[in-house]
Amino acid sequence: MLLLYIAFNVVLPIFIVMALGYALAKFFPIDLNTLSKLNFYVFIPVFMFYSLLIFKPGNREMALTVLFNLILAAVTFLVMIGVTRALKFPPGLAASSTLGVMIFNSANYGIPIVQLAFQGEGVAIQVITITTMNILTYTVGIFIAGGWAEWRKGLITILKLPILYALLLALAIRGLSLNLPDAFLTPLKWTSDGMLPIALLTLGAQLGQGGITLKSPKQLWITVAGRLLIGPILAFLLISAMDIHGLLARVLFVSSAFPTAVITVIFGIEYDKEPTFAADVVFITTLLSAITVTGALSLSTILF
């Protein structure tokens, strides 16, 4: 009964809005660059800023969230290095597969799921995960895709991330115990409320403009299993080892089951690391996440 409730009341609404974006991209010319910029520079930073001001996660929760995601990324990286070498993945596929398992969609997909499933404090926890994942993406992710020579470019990119400054500004306002007037909070709330549908429409449109080739099926399904199954297993072991409980444990566990992020396709194009394969991984993990995320949400209420 719980599984059906989650499937119909949390996961299905997400996929309905994504399907609208997918259909729009199939029947009309959609400027994904503009949509992505709206998400990246307006809706997600404002959402993060507003959420941290309103819900105010504790310092311990924030520290544990950052530490958990850093350790999970490191363990996942080591596991995938072992898997890709043992199974003799070609170099380009090995890099793309490792990225596909490590880097999950914590924002466009993650925020709507967490908002519907946990709301309030859970959303604030996810905001910290997004910031951590972005920093990992533009450091470790660039190292995997482009090598050591690209690290400087990654660090410069981090300094340009609007979400980083939204986070720092929100923490500064909290630390100084400042109260923003309604004239500022009201437009922040309006913009924050628009994040969920815009993010899902964008994600659906991105999937709609891409295709699926099922290139390198063996490596593809290993990567999909790594993201949707091995990821949550590693997360559960790490949560248990770190003795994390309650809402924080549930949000972190569910986040680990999210599909591969679209940025992996962009890295594939930029550094010539199997972009078609990466697009297949994003598409299939997103579709199958309807099942795995539903299961992760159900398990989170039992395990934690």
Over residues 50-106, the pLDDT tens digits come to 887 887 677 788 899 999 999 999 999 999 999 999 999 998 899 999 999 999 988
Confidence class for position 13, pLDDT limits 50, 70, 90? confident
- Which H or E run includes 209? helix 182-209
pTM, two decimals, is 0.86
Q: Averaged over 33-43, what is the pLDDT?
A: 80
Per-residue pLDDT at 29:
83
- Compute the radius of gyration of the chain from its Cα atoms: 18
In the predicted model, what is the mean pLDDT of the chain?
86
62: buried, middle or exposed (CB in 10 Å: 19+, 13-18, 0-12)?
buried
Per-residue pLDDT at 148:
60
Q: What's the CATH code of the domain at 103?
A: 1.20.1530.20
* Helices marked H in 87-181: 91-102, 110-117, 120-136, 142-146, 151-159, 162-175
Per-residue pLDDT at 1:
65
Per-residue pLDDT at 216:
82
Dist CA 20 CA 18 (whole Å): 5
- The domain tally of the chain equals 1
First-to-last C-alpha distance (Å) of the chain = 18
Over residues 262-280, the pLDDT tens digits come to 888 878 877 777 888 988 9
Which domain covers residue 17, as residue numbers?
2-303
Dist CA 233 CA 239 (whole Å): 10
The residues that bridge with 104 in the sheet, in sequence order, are 260
